[in-house]
């Protein structure tokens, strides 16, 4: 599937969102073999798994995105992974957590992580409201999936989402 995306969109970076929990190096190799540019490893994986993904990514020229889904200490683990050489940190409050408590999202973690990670920090969002909040705080990239794609007008919602994030973005500083 990664190779098909690369062929369909040759001028766009393609991310392999494996949410890797084991064999980090192998998923980096798989990403490279299929022509992908970035891959995800879960911050909640073992130190060895995260480090093997980062190390292999450096060797093969694949950027490693550390997805913080399930991490108990978001700033601490994000900082640790950044110090090991992660290329991106991705704050992720899971869809299952959201179903269990829809009053929460990823934005409360953002200030603490931005304070300890000098590089690119992105955020999972559930809609325009939390994306705008994150944009104002200085998140560098934004992810939205099924909350947008499950709606009646995905293209219209995506357009609104992008417009709102762009107009509210404030670089961290």
CATH number of the domain at 92, please.
3.20.20.70
Q: Which domain holds residue 98?
A: 2-168
Answer for the pair 93, 100: CB distance below 8 angstroms, yes or no: no
68-82 pLDDT per residue, tens: 999 999 999 999 999
Answer for the pair 106, 70: CB distance below 8 angstroms, yes or no: no
In total, how many domains does the chain have? Answer: 1
Q: Residue 80 falls within a domain, yes or no?
A: yes
DSSP tag of 108:
G
Q: Residue 173 falls within a domain, yes or no?
A: no
Q: Residue 108 falls within a domain, yes or no?
A: yes
* pLDDT score of 124: 94
Q: Residue 133 falls within a domain, yes or no?
A: yes
* pLDDT score of 131: 97
* pLDDT score of 173: 75
Q: Residue 51 falls within a domain, yes or no?
A: yes
Work out the pLDDT band at 148, boundaries 50, 70, 90.
confident
11-68 pLDDT per residue, tens: 999 999 999 999 999 999 999 999 999 999 999 999 999 999 999 999 999 999 999 9
């Amino acid at each position: 599937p990664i190779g098909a995306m690369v062929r369909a969109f040759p001028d766009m970076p393609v991310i392999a969102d494996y949410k890797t929990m084991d064999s980090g190096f192998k998923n980096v190799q798989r990403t490279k073999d299929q022509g992908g540019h970035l891959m995800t490893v879960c911050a909640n994986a073992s130190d060895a798994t995260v480090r093997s993904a980062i190390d292999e990514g450096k060797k093969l020229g694949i950027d490693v995105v550390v997805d913080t889904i399930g991490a108990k200490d978001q700033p601490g683990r994000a900082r640790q992974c950044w110090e090991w050489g992660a290329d991106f940190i991705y704050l992720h409050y899971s869809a299952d957590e959201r179903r269990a408590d829809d009053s929460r999202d990823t934005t409360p973690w953002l200030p603490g992580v931005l304070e300890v990670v000098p590089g690119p920090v992105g955020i999972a969002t559930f809609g325009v409201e939390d994306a705008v909040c994150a944009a104002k705080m200085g998140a560098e990239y934004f992810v939205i999936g099924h909350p947008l794609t499950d709606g009646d007008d995905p293209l219209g919602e995506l357009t609104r989402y992008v417009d709102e994030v762009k107009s509210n973005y404030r670089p961290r500083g």
